[in-house]
Amino acid sequence: MQSLISHIQQYCPIGKTALKSLAGALQKVELPKGAFLTTEGKTCNHVYFLEQGCLRGFYNLDGKDITYWFAFENNFVTSFFSFISRKPGVENIQLLEDCTLWAISYDELQHLYAKHTDIERLGRIMHERYYVMLEERFVANHFKEARERYENLATATPHILQRVPLGYIASYLGITQETLSRIRSKT
């Protein structure tokens, strides 16, 4: 849990009382590679802090899996649309490695928001941060060619290439596996 605490303190100072409540609400979850945190059609009731391992979010388009994000250590993950809107989502979240996570339920989180201003603030700041990350990624991909998107990825987050099968990376980049393979061979 220490990794979670230092992660959040990095963005927003949290008082001792709030921290204690937060710690009390968290549940340690350990799952094997291949397991799912949520699947299409379900309402996602938890947000997770990923302490160890990596995972992907994907959805189904015309029978194909489209991976649209990866998460690695020290990040919060959930099916945001579903978690926030309280409606069934279209996303699947699947572990790409054995993972250690800390889970907090929607109700507990709302309770913490109501009780601790520090945590409400943390929630806001985390959402700002995630919004900006998504926007940066959006801009990084918009109107660029596949080769350039791949090179950006390889430079910015080379660890993805080590830990994730190429097929998932291709769909993340919005291209087919064959095209990605060809891009890589001509480097």
Partner DNA sequence: TTTCTATTTTGACTTATGTCAAAATTATTG
Partner DNA sequence: CAATAATTTTGACATAAGTCAAAATAGAAA
What whole-number distance in Å separates Cα of residue 59 and Cα of residue 108? 27
Establish if 30 lies at the interface with a second copy (CB under 8 A). no
Q: What is the DSSP string of 40-97?
A: TTSPP-EEEEEEES-EEEEEEETTEEEEEEEE-SSEEE--HHHHHHTS--SEEEEESS
Place of tokens 């080379």: 158
**Range 45-64, binding a second copy (CB under 8 A):** 59, 61, 64
With CB under 5 to 8 Å by kind, the binding choice for 146 among DNA, a second copy, none is DNA
**Range 134-163, binding DNA (CB under 7 A):** 145-147
Across 78-166, where does the E strand assignment appear? Answer: 91-95, 99-105
The single residue among 4, 44, 109, 180 that binds DNA, judged by CB under 7 A, is: 180
Residues contributing to the site for a second copy (CB under 8 A): 59, 61, 64, 66, 68, 80-81, 84-85, 90, 113, 117, 120-121, 123-124, 127-132, 134-136, 138-139, 142-144, 171, 174
Question: Which residues here bind DNA, judged by CB under 7 A?
Answer: 145-147, 165-167, 174-185
